[in-house]
Amino acid sequence: MSETRFDRAPGDIPVSAEMEGKTLSDVGIYTLGLVLAVVLTAISFWVANTSLLWSPGVLLGLAVLAVAQMGIHLVFFLHMTTGPDSTNNVLALALGILIVLLVAAGSIFIMANLNENMMPPPDLMDMQLQH
């Protein structure tokens, strides 16, 4: 099976000699990734500080821009693709994301449980306020 141009990250070595003339240099690829990352960062700051957008939509806009930023970093700087060479990297990334989500969800669950069970009952709180 021959790899298509979609199985390679920007900056990877081309599969065939006829594609060699069509690729950007490594510096060009990293520069393009840097420019895209800076543009997304600037847009994120603009979205957070503007009053032109609907207020509840700002959070969703920032989330979309954050996912796009992560995609830019994964493709342009870490060279992650859907090709067979990146399988281990993608699995390691998925495991890392799973661990982070489990730790975050577990921490939120524990804090909510402690908040529920450690607070004094409402009638005791009312007694303290009356004195």
Asked if 53 and 117 sit in the same domain, the reply is no
Asked if 102 and 116 sit in the same domain, the reply is yes
Q: List phi, psi (to 5°) of 64.
A: -65, -45
- pLDDT value at residue 89: 86
Whether this prediction's pTM lies above 0.75 is answered by no
Cα-Cα-Cα-Cα dihedral of 21, 87, 30, 43, to 10°? 120
Asked if 63 and 50 sit in the same domain, the reply is yes
Mean pLDDT, contiguous 10-residue spans, the chain (131 residues): 58 56 75 95 94 88 93 89 83 92 97 85 68 54
Spatial separation of the C-alpha atoms in residues 29 and 80, rounded to whole Å: 14
Asked if 26 and 56 sit in the same domain, the reply is yes
Asked if 66 and 24 sit in the same domain, the reply is yes
Instruction: Please give the tally of structural domains in the chain.
Output: 2
- Which two three-digit tokens encode residue 45? 């700051």
- pLDDT value at residue 48: 92
Spatial separation of the C-alpha atoms in residues 88 and 70, rounded to whole Å: 18
Asked if 46 and 4 sit in the same domain, the reply is yes
Asked if 25 and 76 sit in the same domain, the reply is yes
Residue numbers of the domain that contains 49 = 1-82
- pLDDT value at residue 13: 63
- pLDDT value at residue 70: 92
Asked if 70 and 119 sit in the same domain, the reply is no
- pLDDT value at residue 123: 76
Asked if 5 and 56 sit in the same domain, the reply is yes
- pLDDT value at residue 17: 45
